[in-house]
Amino acid sequence: MSIIQFNRTPLRAAGSIEDPSDEVIKNTLALWNCDLDTAVKYGGELTRAALGAMNLRGDRKHIIVDTKTHMLMPGFYPGIPGWHTDGVPRGPERNPAAKADPDIFAQEEMESEAPRFHLMVTGTVCPTMFDLTPDRKLSVPDGPDASLYKVITEQMNSNEAGIKFETEPSTVYEWDWWQLHTAQAAKAHGWRFLIRVTETDHFEPQTDLSKIIRTQQQVYVPEAFGW
């Protein structure tokens, strides 16, 4: 095992919008790996408002937009739970979208090419949680390994020390690929919209509109979950 330092740059709040109604959220299309122009065209008023609140620099080759719209019940996870980072290089081409083991060490060599992320989550039903502990040091496998985030999550869950932060409603946050964060279980019934925008040199947006527009959204629940 090796030691890697995370949370190297502070999470930054970078804008906000007016809280949308449930009616607006539930009528907002979900988008996957979408380019900026297509997101503006098809994403609806909520997506356009969120994009307008972000400080997008345009200094990377691509701007990629992902949105998710969920109707949640208590205990539902809108994403796979577990502490992780975004944009980790994968495979010999170091493409974060590749189906290959994550290579956290490649980030050290590629720091000048680091992507930039922008996130906004609506409401208080299910905020994303960030670890704000500066320069958090964790043990990781010595090379590319599918267990990377399992190992990180076990350490984070066994150590309550540090600073945890839940996103504020309809507020834009900006971070880099060293920032630890996790999905949480919904605390109540309600609608949730999430948008993440990635400024990156390392993978391209999708071009097939039938794949970009998502009409179904997954949730994750404990095995013993009941109605």
User: How many whole angstroms separate alpha carbon 78 and alpha carbon 68?
Assistant: 8
Nearest 5°: the CA angle 159, 160, 161 is: 95
Helix (H, G, I), strand (E, B) or coil at 87: coil
Cα separation of 144 and 92, whole Å? 10
CA R_g for the chain = 17
The pTM of the whole model exceeds 0.75: yes
pLDDT for position 227: 61
Domains along the sequence of the chain with CATH: 2-214 (2.60.120)
Rounded percentage of the chain residues whose pLDDT exceeds 90: 90
pLDDT at residue 225 in the model: 66
Angle CA 96–88–143, to nearest 5 = 110
pLDDT in tens, 178-225: 999 999 999 999 999 999 999 999 999 999 999 999 988 999 988 776
Q: What is the pLDDT of residues 122-178, one digit of tens each?
A: 999 999 999 999 999 999 999 999 999 999 999 999 988 899 999 999 999 999 999
Tell me how crowded residue 209 is: count the other CB atoms within 10 A of its CB. 11
CA 91 to chain CA centroid, Å, is: 20
Cα–Cα distances (Å) from 193 to 81, 94, 184, 220, in that order, read 17, 30, 14, 16
